[in-house]
Amino acid sequence: MIEPDTPVDVADLRLRDYLPRPALRVAEHPVERAAYPAVDAHNHLGRWLSQDGDWVVPDVSRLLADMDAANVRAIVNLDGRWGGELEANLERYDRRYPGRFATFCHVDWAETAAPGFGERLAQSLRRSLAAGARGLKVWKDLGLGLTDERGKLLLPDDERLAPLWQVAAEAGAPVLIHTADPRAFFDPADATNERLEELLLHPDWSFAHLGGGHYERLLEALEGLVAANPATTFIAAHVAGAAEDLDLVARLLGAYPNLFVDVAARVAELGRQPRRAHQLIVRHAERVLFGTDVFPPTLGEYAIHFRFLETEDEHFAYALDEPPPQGRWRISGLGLPGDVLDLVYAGNAERLIAGLGRDPGPTLP
Ligand SMILES: [Zn+2]
């Protein structure tokens, strides 16, 4: 990338190097501390997503100091995996700093290579919850890559997975499920794709090869899953994978009381439709959870999220990076009322996720 202020012949300018500075003069209200003690309900503090296999956060006491500075009371760590790795996460976070962290487990999808996997996955979840995991994280590979023993793509509403959701329901443990991805990742990465710059940087984020209609099929499968398991609490990550269509999200929240959504990594989407987003969150204030998916967590990124939720500032950057990573636009704040902020920041997470300070851990039958 060209450094700012480097003289460049505009005839040779590439889009990536075009970084216009808004001429707008608008009010700015930076928010460095959340107005209410917040729970970041979607984050990653483990080892499986890091480049070098080391902890995402090398120094936990420094993280705690940052959390205190930002008024982030607790973080949900979605990286628990299972077995020894779960133990390592629980030791490092949940047990060492009670009330400050809640670690979710995963299941080992390698099990789906042999028949009867539903029961084996359910057993694994039972063990992980008994060990101290506070919920189950299901990643987007369910529906985008995981296959059954015959090599057929496994979708979230596959009935063979029912034992898993049943165990979560019995334990009162929520399932945080990431289904699909931004709508544009399913379209061809061509000159009309609004996330083209991002897809050029990360070609493996494109799912255009799965064919037209797969995005819609995934959203149907998510709805089928939530509808078929009313006793299971589902937190559908990233505004249920449908932040580009808040009417759809509103319909799902209206239809299924066991469905919740987090706003992680979707400030850019919500902030470019601030009136509709405000309306949705106020209408379903008990069903929306604050989360960032920014790892390692930083004060700068937290401040952007707080400003977005709390202020009515207009036309500001949704990320620290230039050019903005998810598309070339700016956002406006929601200016949510205090009672709504209290629920979204923490009340909903505290009600759904054990170990965050207000109720005891999940009980097993
Ligand atoms: Zn995530």
Centre of ligand 1 from the C-alpha of residue 294, in Å: 8
Looking at residue 2, its pLDDT comes to 57
Centre of ligand 1 from the C-alpha of residue 10, in Å: 38
Give the distance between the most distant pair of CA atoms in the chain: 70
β partners of residue 260: 235
Task: Transcribe 61-105 into DSSP letters.
Answer: HHHHHHHHHHTEEEEEE----SHHHHHHHIIIIIITSTTTEEEPB
H or E segment at 41?
strand 38-43
Centre of ligand 1 from the C-alpha of residue 139, in Å: 8
Question: Collapsing DSSP states into helix, strand and coil, what is residue 259?
Answer: strand
Centre of ligand 1 from the C-alpha of residue 8, in Å: 38
365 residues of the chain, pLDDT tens digit each: 556 566 668 888 888 888 899 999 999 999 999 999 999 999 999 999 998 999 999 999 999 999 999 999 999 999 999 999 999 999 999 999 999 999 999 999 999 999 999 999 999 999 999 999 999 999 999 999 999 999 999 999 999 999 999 999 999 999 999 999 999 999 999 999 999 999 999 999 999 999 889 999 999 999 999 999 999 999 999 999 999 999 999 999 999 999 999 999 999 999 999 999 999 999 999 999 999 999 999 999 999 999 999 999 999 999 999 889 999 999 999 999 999 999 999 999 999 999 986 544 454 44
Centre of ligand 1 from the C-alpha of residue 229, in Å: 23
Residues in the chain: 365
Looking at residue 14, its pLDDT comes to 87
Centre of ligand 1 from the C-alpha of residue 129, in Å: 20
Looking at residue 360, its pLDDT comes to 44
Q: Say if residues 94 and 102 touch (Cβ distance below 8 Å).
A: yes
Looking at residue 235, its pLDDT comes to 98
Q: Cα–Cα distances in Å, from 199 out to 141, 142, 193, 259?
A: 18, 21, 9, 30
> Between helices 246-255 and 274-283, what is the axis angle to 10°?
10
Task: Transcribe 260-307 into DSSP letters.
Answer: EEE-TT-HHHHTTSHHHHHHHHHHTGGGEE-----SS--HHHHHHHHH
Centre of ligand 1 from the C-alpha of residue 293, in Å: 5
pTM for the full predicted model: 0.94
Looking at residue 62, its pLDDT comes to 97
Q: Cα–Cα distances in Å, from 309 out to 33, 186, 300, 340, 345?
A: 12, 28, 15, 10, 9
Contacts of 363 (CB under 8 A, 6+ apart): 171, 172
Centre of ligand 1 from the C-alpha of residue 263, in Å: 11
Looking at residue 3, its pLDDT comes to 63
Distance, C-alpha 135 to centroid of its chain: 14
The upper half-sphere exposure of residue 110, i.e. CA atoms within 13 Å in the direction of its Cβ, equals 3
Centre of ligand 1 from the C-alpha of residue 105, in Å: 13
Question: Which tens digits make up the pLDDT trace of 194-228?
Answer: 999 999 999 999 999 998 899 999 999 999 999 99
Q: Cα–Cα distances in Å, from 299 out to 70, 93, 120, 131, 241?
A: 7, 19, 41, 32, 26
Q: Cα–Cα distances in Å, from 59 out to 31, 39, 63, 66, 100?
A: 25, 19, 7, 11, 15
Q: Given its phi and psi angles, is residue 333 left (phi above 0), alpha (psi -120 to 50 degrees) or beta?
A: beta
Distance, C-alpha 123 to centroid of its chain: 26
Q: Rounded distance, CA 155 to CA 143, Å?
A: 4
Looking at residue 322, its pLDDT comes to 87
Question: Collapsing DSSP states into helix, strand and coil, what is residue 49?
Answer: coil
Q: Rounded distance, CA 177 to CA 70, Å?
A: 26
